[in-house]
Amino acid sequence: MRGLTKRIWIAAFVAVGLAAITAHGQNLIGNQPDLSLKGATPVRYLFPEQLTLTAGKPTTVAMHFQVADGLHINSHTPHDGYLIPTVLSIPATSGAHLVSANYPSGADITLPYDPKTKLSVYTGDFTIQARIVAARGDHLVQAQLRYQACNMSQCLPPKTITAAFDVIAK
């Protein structure tokens, strides 16, 4: 009976400890805040909200995004193939299509636990120069930006956000 009581106490101690860690939004790696519990949106689309352009003619649109403080996302061309690149797309049903996208160069950073490896990332504000062609008419273009946000010790799952803007193509 004594062995059973000891195991119950150990199980209760572990359960209470894990509950305390979870309640404070901590993870077990480096005691950093758990990003999945963070209320901020990792990447926000800033602008443009509306464009007037010539129908059928390729037009360059500067699309502005912002990465939340303390986070970074992989650039469009990460240094390692297993990393998830940032990619802009426009669904075929939007009345406009993406001809090409010119992404900014990423900034190289190193992580504290692996100073020999460099990552190519975006932080703060960044702009993608999207070249689009729109059919005549008014369209709500719902571009999509796929990325993976990380801090210096962990990453959130990959995410896709919508970058919506109105296009008036004459």
Whole-prediction pTM value?
0.76
Cα separation, 113 vs 42, in Å, equals 22
Mind listing the pLDDT tens digit for each residue in 125-162?
999 999 999 999 999 999 999 999 999 989 999 999 99
- pLDDT tens digits for range 61-112: 999 999 999 999 999 999 999 999 999 999 988 889 999 999 999 999 998 8
Residues counted in the chain: 170
